[in-house]
Structure 1
Amino acid sequence: MGDHSGDHPHDHSHDHAERWKHDGVRVIKGDKLDANTAQTPGMFRQAAINHARVGAQKIWAGTVTIQPNAKTGVHHHGELESVIYVVRGRARMRWGDRLEYVAEAEAGDFIFVPPYVPHQEINADPDQPLDCVLVRSDNEAVVVNITDVDPVEKPEEVYWVDPIHKAPEA
């Protein structure tokens, strides 16, 4: 067997080290986020991780601050999966073809939104902003607004618990 150290994928030569210097791990400071992203009245979104900023190919991450009682229109994100982490405040999510389901999350909770699910994001607190971290499964911003929803008046409450835990007592 000959010496193949020069063409090994984990070669640690000087050129390789320089590559990782510029194409390796990135730290995006919280005060350096990019507000050049889609905005909604009463909400302020900022990108942290996307293609333009760090070359991300398969993920988007950023923050959103939603003012008290503000909400999005009904929409879905196509085939993207979304994760929302509540940093501060109380989020109310409504979803379904007629927004017939509702659940709330508070600081420390995660929300998962599957592909194509019609939903609406709401700050459920009338007194304080809702701060969240958003992560989406693709770099493209896919938002499909749904304008012909006839929402039910009183949505069914769905608790964010797993099947072995019961809903809280009323």
Structure 2
Amino acid sequence: MNTPQTPGMNRAAAINRATTGANKLWAGTVNIQPNAKTGAHHHGALESVIYVVNGRARMRWGEQLEFVAEAGPGDFIYVPPFVPHQEINASTDEPLSCVLVRSGQEPIVINLDIEPVEPPEEVYWVDPIHPEP
């Protein structure tokens, strides 16, 4: 759980330098609460692969987030380096669970000043350690 977190998203590292000595890959899980949406961002030179385990993912990408596709259980999503994108749980009532693999160890996130088609919604992570705001 020692990874950068985004409201509504819970990331956990499985394979990284600290856990296995990996130098060129990072792999872990991300669980996204219903209706959670990130802002527009990219991950610099990193490549990412997302494998959908449960739920429905919607990905927007492009210079103005003009492209959109959805993915369900068993689908893969590839995010090339420097591509602006927005990650969305397409469901308003079911969580989205994914496996995430990146081509590097650094948690690079470059937030972009792009007006997203689907404005980000902060869905708070609430559990015994994180009380409702």
Q: Same fold (TM over 0.5)?
A: yes
1:60 is aligned to 2:26: yes
TM-score by length of 2: 0.86
Q: Deviations over 1:93-143 (max 9, x none)?
A: 001111111000000000000000000000001111000000001111111
Q: CA RMSD in A?
A: 1.1
User: Which one has the bigger helix percentage?
Assistant: 1
Give the aligned partner of residue 88 of structure 1. Answer: 54
Pairs aligned (count): 118
TM-score by length of 1: 0.67
Counterpart of 1:51 (choices 1, 17, 21) is 17
- 1:122-161 alignment runs, 5 A limit: 122-146=88-112, 148-151=113-116
1:150 deviates by 2.8
Greater relative contact order (CA < 8 Å, ≥ 6 in sequence): 2
In structure 2, C-alpha distance between the alignment counterparts of 1:152 and 1:129, rounded to whole Å: 21
Runs of at least 5 residues in structure 2 that lack an aligned partner in the other structure = 119-133
In structure 1, C-alpha distance between the alignment counterparts of 2:37 and 2:30, rounded to whole Å: 12
1:152 deviates by 5.1
1:89 deviates by 0.2
Secondary structure of 1:78's counterpart equals: coil
Moved over 6 A (4+): none
Question: Aligned letter for 2:35?
Answer: N
- 1:12-51 alignment runs, 5 A limit: 35-51=1-17
Question: Aligned letter for 2:115?
Answer: D
Secondary structure of 1:44's counterpart equals: strand
1:88 deviates by 0.1
Percent identity, please. Answer: 73
Secondary structure of 1:53's counterpart equals: helix
Q: Check conservation: 2:60, 2:87, Cα contact below 8 A.
A: yes
1:43 deviates by 0.6
Which of these two proteins has the greater Rg computed from alpha carbons? 1
Runs of at least 5 residues in structure 1 that lack an aligned partner in the other structure = 1-34, 154-170
